[in-house]
C-alpha cells in the first residue's frame, strides 16, 4: 500500500523527517508515534501526496506521490489534525460537500452517508451546524467525510487529540471496523495507548525512526530495564536514586519512583537496586523513547534552592459557577487543595478546565459561589491575590522575539520585583529550572519546546507564589523532558506550593496527588487515583481513561 | 476542471457566506459608508469664501462691482474697510480670505475707455481654494460691463463638469477605489481562513485541483463584488446627482472585468499569507493605499513625476478610474476606452495565472 524509500523532507535547513524506509501492507493498522514536533504530520503528508519528498521516493497504492499525486489523493482519505470542518455548514452539507468533491452519485451518497452517520451516532444531528457539535462529534464527522468515497487507505493525524474519552473510544471502534473490512489505516498519535492498538508502529524521534515493529516486540526489547520503587516519600527516594545511580530517566509518581536503567547491555541482578527495594516494572512504549534519548536524567540535586513560600495557603472553591450568556462553563464546582499537593484537573477540550482555573485566579468573574486563596476571596482582593499566584498558560505565553533574560526581566517587573530583588529572583529561578546552560541572550523563538516550557515555568515562579496554576503544561514536550518537568513540579509542591494542573493527556494525571475529573463544566469525581478507582468500581491497574469512563457512567453523571 | 466539482465548491462557499450575516452586512454597508464619507468630505468646491472690500472710488460703478461679488454663492461679503491697513490686518487674522480693492478713479477710467485696474488679494495658505477663488474673482471682474470692450475676449468653458462640482469628479473615481477596497479583502480572508482551520488541506487531499478551488472562490465573491458595484453606482449617481452620460451596459461590462481583477488580487494576497491578520494588512497595502494615491481618484496622475506616473500604471484602479470617468462623465464609447479595458483584462489574466500557481496542490 505504502512504500517509502529513504524518504526525507526538509524545511529550509531543518530536516522534519529523514531516512524513512517504510513498507505498509494492505489491511494493516499502522501507527506513527512520537511527541509534537517529531515529524509525524510531515510523514503523513508525504504519504498523502500533500508534500513532495526532498529526497527519496514515496509510492502509495502503486502511484508515485510526486508525478501522480491526484491518482493518490482521489483514492485515499486523509484526516488532518484539529477540526477541519465547515462550521457554518450542517452535518449533512459537510458530507455532501465531501461527496461532491469526489463525484459520488446521488444514490451512492445517500446509502453511504446514512450508514456512516449511523455508525458515528450522528444521525439525529444531521441538520445541525458543524460548529455547534461537541469536539468528539466533530472529530467523528471529520472521519465520516474521509470515508464517504470508501477509500482503501485512510491516513489520520492525531485523531484522539483533545477529544473526550468516550468519543475517542467510539472513534477507534470505527477505525477497527473499517480495518476489518480490509481498509489500511495509518494513524499518527502521541498517545501511547493508541499506539498499543496498532498492528505495527513506527517510533519517530526528532524526525528519525527509532524502531518499527509490533508494539509487544518493541516493548520486549527493553523488558527488564525499567524499575520501580514503591515508597511514601518518592521525592527523597528519587533524590537518593539520582545521587547513587545513573538512570536514563526518573519518574516521580505520588506512591512510587519509576526509572529506566541506563546501561544498554542485558540487565542482570544488581545488588544496589535490590538494596533500594527496586523491582522490575512493565515497560511501555514511552520507555523506548527514553532509552533512545541521547540525554540523561539530571542529578536531582543539581537544581538550585527551592523557592521560599512565606505563607503557604490552601485554595478553595465553594460552589463556583461561571456562566457565559446562557451557557454554564463551570457548574457548581467545590474543591480544596492544601499546600504541598499536586491537583490535576482532567477533561476533554471544552470541559471547563481553563475557565475554572481562570476563575480561581481571579481572571474570570465568578457568577455564583466563592473562590478563596489562603482564606482570602479572590474576587474582593484580586490584586493582592494575584501577587500570590503563579500562572503558566497554555502555549507558554512568552515573547518569542525577546531573549530568555528579557522575558524573565519583564515578568519579574510585572510582579513588582525591581533592582537586586529582581536579579536574585531571576538567578534562583534559572537555577531551579535548570536554565543555567541556556545563554540569557538566546531568543525564545530559537528554543525547543522543552526549554520554552522550563522558561515559562521559571517566569511563573519568580515571585515565589503560594499557588501555581499550570494550564496544559506538557503539550509538545518529549517524555524525558516531561519526566524532568514533573520532578520539578513535585519539588515545588514539597516547598509548600499548591499546584493545580490541567491536561487532556489523561495519563499525565498519574503524577498528581489528587485528580479532579471534569465533564461539561461539572466536577464529576475528585480524589487520588486509587480513591477514584474505588469510587468508580474500577480495577487496581485500570488506566486513568478507564476510570474517567467509569466515572461518566455513574448515575447522575450520564449525558443529559 | 470538472464542472460538478466546481459547482460543489461554489455551493459550499455560497452557503457559508449566506450564513455569515455579519460579513454579508459589512459587504453591503462598508462601500456605502465609504461612498458617503468621501462623496461629502472630499470637497474641493469654493463656496462662501469670506471677503472684504476697500473701495476708494465710492462711485455707482464700484458699488456695482462689489455687489456682483456678493450676489454669487462663491463669496460672502463680510466687511468693507476704511483703510488698507485695516484690510491687511483682517486678512492676517484670517477674518477674510479674499479682498477686492477698487482704486480711486475706477469709474472715470471706465468711462474714458482707459485701463481700469482693480486689485484682488487672495490668502494663499489654502492653495487649492486660493487658485479657484482667485479665478472666480477674476472672471467676475472681467465680465464687468464696460462701454468699450477690449478687442480679445477669451470665452472659457468647462466641459464634462461645467459647474466644476468636485462630487462629479470624485464619485466616479470612488467606484474604482471602493471596489479595490473590499472584494480583495473578502476573497483573501475567505481563503486564508481555510488555511487557518486546515480545511484547505482537506480539499487538497481530495481529487479537487487548485484551479477548481480557485474557481469555487472566484465565482461567489465575484458575484458579491458585482452587486457591490451596481449598488454603489446606482446610489452614487442618484444621490450625488452625477450625470451618467455613457452606456450603462458598457459600464457594467467593464465593471465585470474589473471585479475579476479585484478578486484575483485577493487570491494573490491569500496565496502568499497564512494568517487572516497578515492577509488583511497585505490587502490594505497592495490595494487600498495605492489606489488612493495613484489611481487619479483624488490627485491627477499627469501632474506626478514621470517615475510615479509609470508606477501608477501598475495598479488596475488607474485604468478603471479612467474607464469610469470616461463613461460616466464624458459618455465615452468602447472605441475610446478599448486600451484601458484590454489592459485591465490582460492584467486579470496575469494575476490569475500567478495566484493559481502559487496556491497549487502541495501544502508547501
- Whether residues B337 and B199 share a domain: the answer is yes
Please tell me whether residue A184 adopts helix, strand or coil conformation.
strand
CATH number of the structural domain A315-388+465-553 = 3.40.50.300
- Whether residues B78 and B217 share a domain: the answer is no
B108: CATH: 3.40.1710.10
- Whether residues B118 and B65 share a domain: the answer is yes
DSSP A266: P
Taking only the tens place, the pLDDT of each residue in B243-284 is: 888 899 999 999 999 999 999 999 899 988 888 999 999 998
- pLDDT of res. B113: 77
Question: Is B124 a member of any domain?
Answer: yes
- What SS3 string covers B61-121? HHHHHHHHHHHCCCEEEEEECCCHHHHHHHHHCCCCCEEEEECCCHHHHHHHCCCCCCEEE
Fold of the domain spanning A2-219 = Rossmann fold (3.40.50)
- pLDDT of res. A213: 93
- Whether residues B84 and B128 share a domain: the answer is yes
- Model confidence at B97: pLDDT above 80: yes
Q: Which three cell numbers stand for residue A549?
A: 469512563
A506 half-sphere exposure, CB direction, 13 A CA radius: 25
Q: Specify the number of domains making up chain B.
A: 2
Q: Residue A300: which of A233, A256, A230, A236 has the closest Cα?
A: A236
Cβ–Cβ below 8 Å for A97 and B8: yes
Put simply, whether the predicted model's pTM sits higher than 0.80 gets the answer: no
- Whether residues B178 and B37 share a domain: the answer is yes
Phi, psi of B326 (to 5 degrees): -60, -50
The domain ranges of chain A are 2-219, 223-302, 315-388+465-553
Question: Is B75 a member of any domain?
Answer: yes
- Whether residues B176 and B138 share a domain: the answer is no
Residue of A16, A84, A130, A146 to mutate when probing chain B, most B C-beta within 10 A: A84
Burial of A136 (0-12, 13-18, 19+ CB in 10 A): buried
- Model confidence at B353: pLDDT above 80: yes
Among residues B142, B176, B198, which one ends one of the domains?
B142
Q: Which residues of B touch A76 (CB under 8 A)?
A: 205
Residue A20 parent element (H or E): strand A14-24
A10 at interface of B, judged by CB pairs closer than 8 A? no
- Whether residues B17 and B56 share a domain: the answer is no
Distance, CA of A550 to CA of A541 (rounded, Å): 14
Distance, CA of A243 to CA of B192 (rounded, Å): 54
- Encode chain A (560 residues) as per-residue pLDDT tens digits: 899 999 999 988 889 999 999 999 999 999 999 887 788 999 999 999 988 999 999 999 999 998 888 889 889 999 988 778 999 999 999 999 999 998 888 899 999 999 999 988 899 999 999 988 888 889 999 999 999 999 999 999 988 877 888 888 889 999 999 999 999 999 999 888 889 999 999 999 888 998 899 999 999 888 888 889 998 888 888 888 877 777 788 888 888 899 887 665 555 667 777 777 888 888 888 888 888 876 665 555 445 677 777 777 888 999 999 998 888 889 999 999 999 899 999 987 778 888 898 888 888 889 999 988 888 888 776 677 778 888 887 666 788 889 999 999 998 998 888 889 899 989 888 888 888 888 888 888 888 778 888 899 999 888 888 899 998 887 767 788 888 888 888 888 888 899 999 887 888 899 999 999 998 889 999 999 999 999 998 888 888 989 998 998 886 654 44
Question: Is B332 a member of any domain?
Answer: yes
What range does the domain containing B252 cover? Answer: 3-42+165-358
- pLDDT of res. B151: 47
- Whether residues B96 and B192 share a domain: the answer is no
* DSSP-derived secondary structure for B263-326: HHHHHHHHHH--SHHHHHHHHIIIIIHHHHHHSSSSS-GGGS-HHHHHHHTTSHHHHHHHHHHH
Q: Residue A280: which of A259, A254, A263, A264 has the closest Cα?
A: A259
R_g (Cα) of chain A, nearest Å: 25
Give the pairing of strands A467-471 and A498-503.
parallel
Distance, CA of A533 to CA of A527 (rounded, Å): 9
Question: Is B157 a member of any domain?
Answer: no
Q: Which three cell numbers stand for residue A339?
A: 499546600
Question: Is B153 a member of any domain?
Answer: no
Give, rounded to a whole angstrom, the gap between the first and last alpha carbons of chain B: 22
Q: Which three cell numbers stand for residue A264?
A: 544498554
- By Cβ distance, the residue of B11, B205, B207 closest to A48 is B205
Distance, CA of B200 to CA of B359 (rounded, Å): 10
Contacts of A44 (CB under 8 A, 6+ apart): A32, A78, A155, A157, A186, A188
Question: Is B364 a member of any domain?
Answer: no
Contacts of A406 (CB under 8 A, 6+ apart): A399
Phi, psi of A340 (to 5 degrees): 90, 0
R_g (Cα) of chain B, nearest Å: 28
CATH number of the structural domain A223-302 = 3.30.70
Quote ipTM for the complex.
Answer: 0.70
Question: Is B150 a member of any domain?
Answer: no
Residue of A54, A80, A150 to mutate when probing chain B, most B C-beta within 10 A: A80
- Does the fold of domain A315-388+465-553 match that of domain A2-219? yes
> Backbone dihedral region of A503: left (phi > 0), alpha (psi from -120 to 50 degrees) or beta?
beta
Question: Is B302 a member of any domain?
Answer: yes
Cβ–Cβ below 8 Å for A73 and B209: no
- Whether residues B187 and B277 share a domain: the answer is yes
Residue A342 parent element (H or E): strand A342-346
Distance, CA of A216 to CA of B319 (rounded, Å): 70
Distance, CA of B104 to CA of B91 (rounded, Å): 22
Among chain A residues, CA nearest to B197: A84
- Whether residues B131 and B197 share a domain: the answer is no
A41 at interface of B, judged by CB pairs closer than 8 A? no
Among residues B110, B142, B174, which one ends one of the domains?
B142
- Whether residues B136 and B271 share a domain: the answer is no
Amino acid at each position: 500500500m505504502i512504500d517509502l524509500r529513504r524518504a526525507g523532507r526538509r524545511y529550509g535547513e531543518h530536516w522534519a523527517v529523514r531516512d524513512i524506509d517504510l513498507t505498509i501492507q494492505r489491511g494493516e493498522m499502522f501507527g506513527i508515534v512520537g511527541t509534537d514536533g517529531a515529524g509525524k504530520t510531515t510523514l503523513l503528508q508525504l504519504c498523502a501526496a500533500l508534500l513532495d519528498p526532498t529526497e527519496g521516493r514515496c509510492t502509495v497504492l502503486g502511484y508515485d506521490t510526486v508525478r501522480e499525486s491526484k491518482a493518490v489523493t482521489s483514492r485515499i482519505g486523509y484526516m488532518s489534525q484539529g477540526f477541519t470542518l465547515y462550521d457554518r455548514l450542517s452535518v449533512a452539507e459537510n458530507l455532501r460537500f465531501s461527496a461532491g468533491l469526489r463525484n459520488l452519485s446521488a444514490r451512492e451518497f445517500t446509502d453511504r452517508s446514512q450508514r456512516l452517520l449511523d455508525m458515528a451516532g450522528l444521525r439525529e444531528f444531521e441538520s445541525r451546524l458543524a460548529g455547534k457539535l461537541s469536539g468528539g462529534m466533530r472529530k467523528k464527522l471529520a472521519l465520516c467525510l474521509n470515508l464517504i468515497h470508501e477509500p482503501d487507505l485512510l491516513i489520520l493525524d492525531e485523531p484522539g487529540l483533545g477529544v473526550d474519552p468516550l468519543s475517542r473510544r467510539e472513534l477507534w471502534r470505527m477505525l477497527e471496523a473499517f480495518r476489518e473490512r480490509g481498509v489500511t489505516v495509518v494513524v499518527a498519535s502521541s498517545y501511547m495507548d493508541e499506539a498499543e492498538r496498532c498492528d505495527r508502529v513506527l517510533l519517530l524521534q526528532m524526525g528519525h525512526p527509532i524502531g518499527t515493529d509490533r508494539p509487544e516486540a518493541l516493548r520486549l526489547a527493553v523488558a527488564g530495564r525499567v524499575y520501580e520503587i514503591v515508597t511514601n516519600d518518592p521525592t527523597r527516594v528519587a533524590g537518593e536514586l539520582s545521587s547513587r545511580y545513573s538512570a536514563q530517566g526518573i519518574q516521580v509518581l505520588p506512591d512510587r519512583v519509576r526509572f529506566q536503567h541506563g546501561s544498554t547491555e542485558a540487565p542482570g541482578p544488581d545488588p544496589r537496586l535490590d538494596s533500594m527495594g527496586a523491582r522490575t516494572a512493565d515497560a511501555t512504549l514511552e520507555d523506548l523513547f527514553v532509552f533512545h534519548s541521547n540525554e540523561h536524567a539530571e542529578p536531582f540535586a543539581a537544581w538550585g534552592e527551592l523557592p521560599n513560600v512565606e505563607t503557604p495557603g490552601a485554595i478553595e472553591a465553594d460552589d463556583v459557577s461561571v456562566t457565559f450568556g446562557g451557557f454554564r462553563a463551570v457548574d457548581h464546582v467545590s474543591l480544596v487543595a492544601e499546600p504541598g499537593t499536586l491537583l490535576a484537573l482532567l477533561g476533554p477540550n471544552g470541559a471547563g478546565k481553563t475557565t475554572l482555573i481562570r476563575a480561581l485566579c481571579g481572571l474570570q468573574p465568578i457568577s455564583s459561589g466563592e473562590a478563596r486563596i489562603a482564606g482570602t476571596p479572590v474576587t474582593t482582593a484580586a490584586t493582592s491575590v494575584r501577587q500570590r499566584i503563579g500562572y503558566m498558560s497554555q502555549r507558554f505565553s512568552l515573547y518569542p522575539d525577546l531573549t530568555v533574560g528579557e522575558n524573565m526581566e519583564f515578568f519579574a517587573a510585572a510582579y513588582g520585583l525591581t533592582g537586586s530583588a529582581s536579579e536574585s529572583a531571576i538567578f534562583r529561578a534559572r537555577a531551579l529550572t535548570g536554565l543555567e546552560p541556556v545563554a540569557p541572550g538566546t531568543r525564545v523563538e530559537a528554543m525547543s519546546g522543552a526549554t520554552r516550557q522550563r522558561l515559562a515555568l521559571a517566569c511563573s515562579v519568580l515571585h515565589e507564589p503560594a499557588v501555581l496554576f499550570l494550564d496544559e503544561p506538557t503539550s509538545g514536550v518529549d517524555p524525558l523532558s516531561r519526566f524532568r518537568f514533573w520532578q520539578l513540579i513535585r519539588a515545588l509542591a514539597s516547598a509548600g506550593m499548591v499546584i493545580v494542573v490541567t491536561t487532556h493527556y489523561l495519563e499525565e494525571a498519574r503524577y498528581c496527588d489528587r485528580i479532579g475529573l471534569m465533564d461539561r463544566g461539572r466536577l464529576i469525581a475528585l480524589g487520588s487515583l486509587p480513591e477514584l478507582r474505588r469510587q468508580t468500581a474500577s480495577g487496581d491497574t485500570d488506566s486513568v481513561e478507564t476510570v474517567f469512563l467509569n466515572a461518566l457512567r455513574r448515575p447522575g453523571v450520564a449525558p443529559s | 476542471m470538472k464542472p460538478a466539482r466546481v459547482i460543489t465548491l461554489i455551493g459550499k462557499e455560497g452557503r457559508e457566506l449566506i450564513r455569515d450575516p455579519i460579513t454579508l452586512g459589512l459587504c453591503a454597508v462598508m462601500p456605502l459608508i465609504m461612498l458617503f464619507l468621501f462623496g461629502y468630505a472630499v470637497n474641493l468646491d469654493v463656496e462662501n469664501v469670506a471677503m472684504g472690500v476697500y473701495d476708494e472710488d465710492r462711485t455707482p460703478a464700484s458699488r456695482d462691482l462689489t455687489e456682483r461679488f456678493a450676489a454669487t454663492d462663491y463669496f460672502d461679503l463680510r466687511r468693507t474697510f476704511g483703510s488698507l491697513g485695516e484690510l491687511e490686518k483682517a486678512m492676517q487674522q484670517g477674518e477674510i480670505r479674499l479682498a477686492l480693492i477698487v482704486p480711486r478713479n475706477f469709474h472715470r477710467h471706465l468711462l474714458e475707455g482707459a485701463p481700469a485696474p482693480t486689485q484682488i488679494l487672495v490668502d494663499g495658505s489654502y492653495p487649492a481654494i486660493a487658485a479657484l477663488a482667485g479665478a472666480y474673482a477674476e472672471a467676475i471682474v472681467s465680465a464687468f460691463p464696460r462701454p468699450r470692450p477690449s478687442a480679445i475676449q477669451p470665452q472659457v468653458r468647462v466641459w464634462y463638469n461645467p459647474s466644476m462640482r468636485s462630487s462629479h469628479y470624485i464619485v466616479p473615481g470612488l467606484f474604482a477605489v471602493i471596489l479595490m477596497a473590499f472584494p480583495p479583502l473578502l476573497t483573501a480572508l475567505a481563503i486564508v481562513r481555510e488555511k487557518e482551520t486546515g480545511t484547505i488541506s482537506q480539499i487538497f487531499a481530495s481529487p479537487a485541483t487548485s484551479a477548481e478551488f480557485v474557481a469555487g472562490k472566484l465565482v461567489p465573491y465575484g458575484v458579491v463584488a458585482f452587486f457591490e458595484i451596481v449598488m454603489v453606482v446606482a446610489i452614487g449617481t442618484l444621490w450625488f446627482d452625477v450625470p451618467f452620460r455613457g452606456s450603462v451596459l458598457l459600464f457594467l461590462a467593464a465593471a465585470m472585468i474589473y471585479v475579476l481583477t479585484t478578486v484575483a488580487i485577493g487570491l494573490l494576497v491569500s496565496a502568499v499569507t497564512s494568517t487572516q491578520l497578515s492577509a488583511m494588512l497585505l490587502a490594505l497595502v497592495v490595494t487600498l493605499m495605492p489606489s488612493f494615491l495613484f489611481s487619479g481618484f483624488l490627485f491627477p496622475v499627469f501632474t506626478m513625476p514621470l517615475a510615479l506616473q509609470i508606477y501608477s500604471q501598475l495598479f488596475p484602479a488607474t485604468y478603471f478610474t479612467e474607464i469610469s470617468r470616461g463613461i460616466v462623465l464624458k459618455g465615452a464609447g468602447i472605441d475610446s476606452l478599448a486600451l484601458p479595458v484590454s489592459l485591465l483584462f490582460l492584467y486579470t489574466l496575469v494575476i490569475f495565472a500567478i495566484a493559481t500557481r502559487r496556491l497549487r496542490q502541495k501544502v508547501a
